[in-house]
Amino acid sequence: MAAAEATVEELATELSSYLDTNRINQVRRAYYYAEQAHEGQMRKSGDRYITHPLAVAGILANLRLDHQSLMAAMLHDVIEDTGIPKDALVEQFGDDVAELVDGVSKLTQIEFRSRAEAQAENFQKMTLAMAKDIRVILVKLADRLHNMRTLGPMPYEKRLRIAAETLDIYAPIANRLGMHAICTELEDLGFSSLYPMRSKYISKAVEKLRGSHREIIEEIRGKLQEKLEERGLPGRIMGREKHLNSIYNKMKFKQKSFHEIMDVYAFRIITDSEDNCYRILGAAHSLYKPLPGRFKDYIAMPKANGYQSLHTTLFGMHVNIEIQIRTEEMEHIANNGIAAHWMYKNEASGVTTINQSRVDRWVQGLMEMRERADDSMEFIEHVKVDLFPDEIYVFTPRGRIMELPSGATPVDFAYAIHTDIGNAAVACRINRNLASLSQPLQSGQTVEIITAPGARPNPAWLGFVITGKARSSIRHTLKTRKRVESLELGKTLLKRSLKGFGAKLSDISEAQKQAVVSHNQVNSFDDLISDIGMGNRMAYLVARQLVSGGELVADEPASLEKAAEAEANGAAVTIRGTEGLLVSFASCCKPIPGDPIVGVMDSGKGMVIHSDTCARLPDDNNGRARLTHLNWAKDITDEFAVELRVELERQRGVIAEVANAVAMADGNIARINVEDQNARFGIVSLVVHVHGRKHLARVMRRVRNIRAVTQISRVRY
């Protein structure tokens, strides 16, 4: 007992450097309450359980956190492990402390079926906890850090699970909060528990290398120190250690060798003011040559989590030297991140952080999240992760966290997973509900992409995607697809025109093809065919050049008159309705299967299909010669839009009756609009999707049979 009391007294001594006696006594009271609650409980190591909450409070004291956080650290396992209700804590220590303890308990209680689920769900809980009170997460991080430090006695399976969870969830959260010191320790402890052999191997290699590099490190440090003294600049120079997990990740993901990583000598120079940071930078650059493109000024443009520093890489003594230059305040914020906000401000000693306003703004952003969430069980769908304003975090259905720029859509998400998934995307679910592919995503949503074999990117996607990967992938696929389709359509049209001249493409010699290619000044015969498919050349004229045996005439107007006759002799081109980018249907006459149709070649856009009777078609010989006669394929299953005009007597429920009649005939209403009406009559405009003329006749018959309908007709402009 005496030893434990001495330990709490040691903590009290440390706290006296920044807390007043009244607050220290409150922390002490929380300790004795927890000690009593945990009486008789032991840790796996054989120590009394109370040593754990005390150690967690010690970690938070190093961060100079407020007394309520320290009290919550003492009591953080009381609700969960001893059965004492939250109300009892409210009575003893007030609402704030009880809320903190309850928040930490809720995070600890989460049970997961799989690691992937843990990653997504726990991240959601974390964000909500941060929204309610950021200190919940600080207590939880300190709790996890002490558990990782004392992981040894745990069973093997549990050790692996805790280590994996630490690397997946807690270290990234610490990093996001700018708490570099805790993040790196969690990473290294997690790494050595998960991969003990790899950790041991890298650790030994680092020790060995450090020994052989000691002289060169000392020499660089000496020269930097000399240069600072020469210019009268204050600054302490520290060597920066490479962390085991960071070395391993660089070797694994960046495919760098151990020596490649370790041959960079890293130093940090801490000075007293921002001005001196830039002066020290100048001094370092006068000593060694800076590497171009490797300088970063995070003082003028801090990172989103408040981190500030100057980074530069120099080349000297045949090695690369990385230097970070920052003030004491910046160093404090770099190591402790958001925890720096709760550093006790003792006005007498003037202890404060120069970066306080930035951290305040950041915390304000987190507190706004709290207002958006109705209760602690309402997860992240109502909470925006505000730590990085330019990024959003969404989850795959398996719980993997994807980081995307703000404003990203499900299409960006699909391409971020894999190009093939992006190319085959047809729809998406956001939080299990079907949603539009163009809808901007919000942080915390779970996004599932629905793919279909043979699906292709839609050109309209380029109007809303924002990631470079999505944009370039869509453009590349569309370009390739347009080329394939233009070749296919061009070949069909050319074969048809050749048939009108009584020739076949297979009969044309390579010499004839080459002569026509040269005459038309294109690179290849494929380019020529592609041009026909794109609508940039007439199939009839190219066919005539091919059969003229090298007699290449100019495209004179008189020849167009003969084209109509030659075209009539050729077989009609079959249209399936799914030809792709280079075949489109005219919006003026909206042709459907069964309508007599013709194709008009539109320069650069391919073929536009019109109804044979469309008023917009040319009626002179030259114009008719440019038309392509088309047939519909027999087995078309696609739907086509048709506009109908229905005149009816006004009656209650008549619109619903019309809609029901269309549905009974298996039609699909895309739009319904009441255009003109008086007391007795009305005109309804309908856009209906049908499979063809027979289907349309069935729909019109059903609608016509309604007693109130006086007339129904198909609209063609």
DSSP string, 513-573: HHHHHHHTT-S-HHHHHHHHHHTSS-HHHHHHHHHTTT------HHHHHHHHHHHHHSPPE
Active-site residues, by number, are 80-81
Asked if residue 426 has pLDDT above 60, the reply is yes
Question: pLDDT-based confidence at 346, cuts 50/70/90?
Answer: very low
Q: Could you identify the residue written with the tokens 């069980």?
A: 377
Asked if residue 149 has pLDDT above 60, the reply is yes
Q: Give Cβ neighbours of residue 696 (< 8 Å, ≥ 6 apart).
A: 592, 594, 642, 688, 690, 714
Question: pLDDT-based confidence at 284, cuts 50/70/90?
Answer: very high
Question: pLDDT-based confidence at 572, cuts 50/70/90?
Answer: low
Mean pLDDT across the stretch 63-73? 90
CA distances from 239 to 210, 251, 311 (A): 11, 22, 14
Residues 319-345 have pLDDT tens digits of: 788 999 999 988 888 877 766 655 434
pLDDT score of 129: 56
Question: pLDDT-based confidence at 636, cuts 50/70/90?
Answer: confident
pLDDT score of 582: 67
DSSP string covering 444-460: T-BEEEEE-TT----GG
CA atoms within 13 A on the CB side of 406: 8
Please tell me the CATH superfamily of domain 640-714, with its number: ACT domain (3.30.70.260)
User: Is beta strand 709-714 parallel, antiparallel or unpaired with respect to 401-405?
Assistant: unpaired
Mean pLDDT across the stretch 106-128? 53
Among 173-177, 230-234, 446-450, the minimum mean pLDDT is found in 173-177
**Percent of the chain residues topping a pLDDT of 90:** 23
**Percent of the chain residues topping a pLDDT of 70:** 81
Alpha-carbon distance of 571 to 631, in angstroms, equals 9
Most confident of 132-136, 220-224, 463-467, 674-678: 220-224
How far the first Cα of the chain sits from its last, in Å, is 95
Mean pLDDT across the stretch 11-15? 90
List the structure tokens of 216: 């060169």
Residue 298, class by beta-carbon neighbours within 10 Å (0-12 exposed, 13-18 middle, 19+ buried)? Answer: middle
Q: Mutual orientation of helices 67-75 and 86-93 as an angle, nearest 10°? A: 140
Cβ proximity of 137 and 177 under 8 Å? yes
List the structure tokens of 203: 């650790």
Q: Give Cβ neighbours of residue 488 (< 8 Å, ≥ 6 apart).
A: 533
List the structure tokens of 456: 């292709």
Strand-pairing partners, residue 207, are none
Mean pLDDT across the stretch 547-554? 56
Asked if residue 450 has pLDDT above 60, the reply is yes
Mean pLDDT across the stretch 458-484? 80
pLDDT score of 236: 93
Asked if residue 148 has pLDDT above 90, the reply is yes
Query: Which residue has better confidence, 675 or 640?
Result: 640
Question: pLDDT-based confidence at 580, cuts 50/70/90?
Answer: low
Alpha-carbon distance of 265 to 313, in angstroms, equals 10
Mean pLDDT across the stretch 309-327? 89
Mean pLDDT across the stretch 304-316? 83
CA atoms within 13 A on the CB side of 709: 22
Asked if residue 501 has pLDDT above 70, the reply is yes
Mean pLDDT across the stretch 226-255? 86
Residues 359-412 have pLDDT tens digits of: 444 444 444 434 433 332 222 222 223 333 356 778 888 877 777 877 899 999
Task: Please give the DSSP secondary-structure letter assigned to residue 506.
Answer: G
Residues 73-108 have pLDDT tens digits of: 999 988 877 778 889 999 999 998 998 888 888 776
pLDDT score of 541: 78
Q: What is the CATH architecture assignment of 391-466?
A: Roll (3.10)
Give a three-class secondary structure readout of 270-296: EECCHHHHHHHHHHHHHHCEECCCCCE
- CATH code, residues 2-194: 1.10.3210.10
Q: Give Cβ neighbours of residue 332 (< 8 Å, ≥ 6 apart).
A: 340, 343, 353
DSSP string covering 397-458: TT--EEEEETT--HHHHHHHH-HHHHHHEEEEEETTEEE-TTSPP-TT-BEEEEE-TT----
- pTM, rounded to two decimals: 0.50
Most confident of 7-11, 101-105, 408-412, 467-471: 408-412
User: What residue spans define the domains of the chain?
Assistant: 2-194, 199-335, 391-466, 475-593+600-622, 640-714
Instruction: Give the chain's mean pLDDT.
Output: 79
Identify which of 487, 489, 485 has the alpha carbon closest to the alpha carbon of residue 530: 487
Residues 506-542 have pLDDT tens digits of: 878 888 888 888 888 888 888 888 888 777 777 777 8
Question: pLDDT-based confidence at 591, cuts 50/70/90?
Answer: confident
CATH class, 199-335 region: alpha beta
pLDDT score of 349: 35
